[in-house]
Amino acid sequence: MFNLNDLLVSVQVVDHGGFAAAGRALRLPKSTLSKRLSELERKIGVRLIQRTSRSFAVTEIGRDLYRHAAAMLIEAEAAEHVIKGRLAEPSGTVRITASLPIAQLRLAALLPRLAASYPKMRITLDVSDRFVDIVQEGFDIAIRNHFSPLPDNDLVQRRIDDDPTWLVASPDYIREKGVCSRPEEASELDGLMASPSESVWTLRNGDGAVAKITPMPRYVANETISLLEAAKAGLGVTCLPSSFCAQLIASGALVRILPEWTGGGVTTTLLMPHRRGQLPSVRMVADYLIAELSRPRQDA
């Protein structure tokens, strides 16, 4: 492959009609330009410019090479302008992946406002509850809810929020089963579980006490909104992040059981593929989402 600097030299020499003028434009000695052009001719095996102390003429092959090399330089300059433009103002496409609850309850309202503020930027949101390999699948940002710490890998991890989980049920269910005042009384309740393997809820209170309860599994769903609806329907008790049920508790649609106890917590983390080389659009979107998602919800 050609040395691109040699192609640049050849274009400049032709454009300026000689080595001296091209040298002044490039701020290089004309002897250096002559040497680079000779090296290019040696690699190609043909003469590109016939030159003597009195004449300067571009050969036919030299004209063909010039036409393509000049076009290459124009494209390179255009690429430089594109990069500079993107560095000056957020633009281009930012690809985000998030789970269904986050997308529905938080991002659905936030992202349109952001997109409207930056017309040169396009946001693509992929909603999926599966594990997404953001590097392999080409995402710029992922927002994940998780109970346990995420693996320590090459991804940038920026914690957004820690959301405690509460035991909740419908008022009708509470009237039927009665109110629990101690954790040991909750083991007789019907459990709305997040997975078939889930059988125990570990509770903690403000004094650091730990209690384990084993409800009777009644219903299983591995999706938060489904568990929420099952609890509202009076099927039993479930353990949900406070942000998903606080408004319903305030309105009376749900009742919090054992309010002095929490069932652990859900951490929301924003991830990005790498620490360096991020475009301003990705950094700006990440900072915006962290700031907005960290705010207490007005309906919470």
What confidence tens digit (pLDDT) does each residue in 157-178 have? 888 888 899 999 999 999 998 8
* Mean pLDDT, rounded, for 148-152: 69
Q: Provide the pLDDT for residue 297.
A: 59
Cα separations (Å) of 263 from 47, 160, 205, 256? 80, 20, 9, 12
Judged against a pLDDT cut of 70, whether residue 64 lies above it is answered with yes
Boundary-marking domain end, from 46, 62, 88 = 88
Q: Provide the pLDDT for residue 86.
A: 66
Boundary-marking domain end, from 88, 110, 127 = 88
Regarding whether 283 and 137 lie in a shared domain, the answer is yes
> What does the block give as tokens for 187?
């083991």
Query: CATH number, domain at 12?
Result: 1.10.10.10
Regarding whether 261 and 174 lie in a shared domain, the answer is yes
What confidence tens digit (pLDDT) does each residue in 201-249 have? 899 998 889 999 899 999 999 888 899 999 999 999 999 988 888 899 9
Regarding whether 169 and 228 lie in a shared domain, the answer is yes
Q: Provide the pLDDT for residue 277.
A: 47
Q: Is residue 205 classed as helix, strand or coil in its secondary structure?
A: strand
Query: CATH number, domain at 206?
Result: 3.40.190.290
> What does the block give as tokens for 24?
């002044």
In whole angstroms, give the CA distance from residue 200 to residue 92: 47
Regarding whether 224 and 81 lie in a shared domain, the answer is no
> What does the block give as tokens for 65?
């090479």
- Burial class of residue 193 in the structure, from the number of CB atoms within 10 Å of its CB (0-12 exposed, 13-18 middle, 19+ buried): buried
Regarding whether 156 and 271 lie in a shared domain, the answer is yes
The pLDDT-based confidence of 110 (bands split at 50, 70, 90) is very high
Judged against a pLDDT cut of 70, whether residue 9 lies above it is answered with yes
Query: CATH number, domain at 289?
Result: 3.40.190.10
Regarding whether 250 and 191 lie in a shared domain, the answer is yes
Regarding whether 17 and 69 lie in a shared domain, the answer is yes
* Mean pLDDT, rounded, for 15-27: 89
The pLDDT-based confidence of 299 (bands split at 50, 70, 90) is very low
Tokens 């709305």, residue located = 192
Q: What percent of the chain has pLDDT over 70?
A: 94
Q: Tell me whether residue 299 is in a domain.
A: no
Regarding whether 75 and 39 lie in a shared domain, the answer is yes
Regarding whether 260 and 184 lie in a shared domain, the answer is yes
Regarding whether 288 and 148 lie in a shared domain, the answer is yes
Q: Provide the pLDDT for residue 228.
A: 93
* Mean pLDDT, rounded, for 31-37: 91
Regarding whether 238 and 287 lie in a shared domain, the answer is no
Count of structural domains within the chain: 3
Boundary-marking domain end, from 24, 56, 88 = 88
Parent domain of 225:
164-265
Type of residue numbered 185: E
* Mean pLDDT, rounded, for 112-139: 88
Regarding whether 70 and 107 lie in a shared domain, the answer is no
